[in-house]
Amino acid sequence: MLSFTGSLKVWVCVNPCDMRRGFEGLAALVSEQLKEDLRSGALFVFCNKRHTRLKVLYFDGSGLWLMTKRHEKGTFSWPRAGEVQEGKILLAPEAFAMLTDGVDLHGAKLRPWYRRD
């Protein structure tokens, strides 16, 4: 069953990814490039060079999910590789939802009263 909680970690690979990659290719990126554990229960998000397609890899405890989204018009608001030290960023689930809905996250910030632990 696919269900996400507020404590979900969403790792975003900021470097472009070849969208022909499948389960094994993306799993290799998670361990080699992102240096994260695929079975941690986190979402791992990848984007193509033109920022028009996303792939999300997720291990739910019993198997791997591979989800894809393609923008029909426009592009995803994607972090620039130069803005990030390790080639990855950790997003809050709410920010991930906004990103997939087409919200531009550049310049967005959380209000001082909004804190998540």
Tell me whether residue 49 is in a domain: yes
State which residues form the domain around 88. 10-100
Tens of pLDDT, residue by residue over 88-102, are 999 888 888 888 888
* Model pLDDT, residue 44: 98
Tell me whether residue 109 is in a domain: no
CA atoms lying within 13 Å on the CB side of residue 28: 6
Q: What angle do CA 92, 98, 99 make, to 5 degrees?
A: 90
Tell me whether residue 1 is in a domain: no
* Model pLDDT, residue 103: 82
Low-confidence ranges of the chain (pLDDT < 50): 1, 113-114, 117
Count of the separate structural domains present in the chain: 1
Tens of pLDDT, residue by residue over 70-92, are 988 889 888 776 677 788 999 88
Tell me whether residue 114 is in a domain: no
**Alpha helix locations (H) across the chain?**
23-32, 93-100
Take residue 46 and report the two structure tokens written for it: 């990848």
Tell me whether residue 4 is in a domain: no
